[in-house]
Amino acid sequence: MSFPVKVNEVTYDFRSVPLAIASLYGGPVVSILLYLTLLIYRFLLGNPNNALYALSILPSFVFVLLLYKNYPYQKLYQKIAVAILLCTAIKLTTFSTYFFITQGSLQQVMQQPLATLNTYILQAVIIGVCVYAIEFLQSYFYMQEEVIKSEKTKIVSDMAASVAHEIRNPLTTVRGFIQLLAADDVDKQKKQFYQRICLEELDRAQLIISDYLSLAKPDPESIEAISVHEEITYLSNLLITYANYNNIQIHKVLPEDQVLQIIGDRYKFRQALINIGKNAIEALRDGGMLEIKVSKKNDHIIINLNDTGIGMTAEQIKRLGTPYYSTKEKGTGLGTMVSFGIIKKMNGKIEITSEPGKGTEYKLIFPSSSESA
């Protein structure tokens, strides 16, 4: 409106473009405000016959009321077509009413039809591009919202599956020891031992739940020196009932002349070892052996878990530790993923070598406590 083009003393501008688009997308309230703004600005520019002009644009407001309700449900090409038609209708009804009332004919408008047509074509192109851009941006933001929602849903699903997987391990252990406690030939000392293991595993389950509940606002980890001898002994005692049930032998090799320590969270380290050990036992079919060996090389402590199970291919090893990938039929892969994350957070390294049909070796490498300090 501030920089119009005159063709044969007829003023052309693109006021109808924002008027049509905003009316279709904003509805009657926005449309009324824009029409009032248009009239006020026309008055401020000093144009004559403002009351007559207000009367001439009234039919276009009626068109808006008829079109805006169904507009959001139309396809893209239909929206572009409707916007172009409304924009053209605004201009045509304004010119027709205004010039017919003031001059009694439309001869002045029709004197140069080609130049007039060019302004309408340019206006149609502009409003078509604007509608396309609006629809594209709306689709983009809608897709972003959907992606965010799906990610949140996936996170909740992963968390639920991970919690269930992590809690199942200690509960399975407790169930096994409770069955042993029911046996008649168990002496008092063994019963006390089984009872202690059950309580420790229930405490571990409680700690796992606390860890997941505090993910949104994690507390500082309990970093301490961990005795590798104690943890491997605990691991072998914990897995032995599960192994015996499956006719599997557990053999541990610990250096007796060395005190081996690493730095980290004791309970998370224990959680990682139990997950890997339990997976190794489940990979053994019709008996077999799981060997847990600890050694020290230079300033690093190496924990080897060797099983004589079904083994894995190079592709399976590559995918191990990713969410929802597991070599087990009913596995989620989340336990392995959590275990690998715990080991890496303790500055540890994981090396896996395997051959189908011959077994798998997990090599966990940690800095010794002196190196970590």
Token digits of residue 110: 């029709």
Q: How confident is the model at residue 206 (pLDDT cuts 50, 70, 90)?
A: confident
pLDDT bin (cut points 50, 70, 90) of residue 218 is very low
Determine the average pLDDT of the residues in 218-223.
Answer: 62
Residues 321, 346: contact at Cβ < 8 Å? Answer: no
The region of weakest confidence among 59-68, 270-279, 296-305 is 59-68
User: What's the N-to-C CA distance of the chain in angstroms?
Assistant: 74
- Note the pLDDT of residue 14: 77
pLDDT of residue 9: 58
Q: Tell me: the pLDDT tens digits for 225-239?
A: 999 999 999 998 888
pLDDT at site 371: 46
Higher pLDDT, 266 or 332: 266
Return d(Cα 1, Cα 62) in angstroms, integer: 23
Residue 92 has what pLDDT?
A: 78
pLDDT for 372 equals 41
Pick from 123-132, 163-172, 359-368: least confident: 163-172
CATH architecture, domain defined by 154-215: Orthogonal Bundle (1.10)
Q: What is the pLDDT of residue 292?
A: 93
82-130 tens-digit pLDDT:
889 888 888 777 766 665 555 554 555 555 667 667 777 888 898 899 9
Contact 90, 61 (CB under 8 A): no
Reported confidence tier of residue 261, pLDDT bands at 50, 70, 90: very high
Residue 67: count of CB within 10 angstroms of its CB: 18
Q: Which of 143-157, 206-220, 310-324, 341-355 has the highest mean pLDDT?
A: 341-355
Give the separation between CA 113 and CA 24, rounded to whole angstroms. 29
Enumerate residues 6+ apart whose C-beta is below 8 A from 299. Answer: 367, 368, 370, 371
Instruction: Decide if 228 contacts 187 (C-beta within 8 A).
Output: no
Q: What is the pLDDT of residues 311-357, one digit of tens each?
A: 888 888 888 877 656 666 555 566 787 788 889 989 999 999 998 88
Q: Distance between CA atoms of 123 and 131, rounded to whole angstroms?
A: 12
Q: Which CATH number fits domain 223-367: 3.40.50.300, 3.10.180.10, 1.20.120.430, 3.30.565.10?
A: 3.30.565.10
Share of the chain above pLDDT 70, in %: 83
Q: Return the domain boundaries, the chain.
A: 5-111, 154-215, 223-367
**Range with the lowest mean pLDDT among 28-42, 67-81, 189-203, 211-225?**
211-225
Block residue for tokens 């149609």:
124
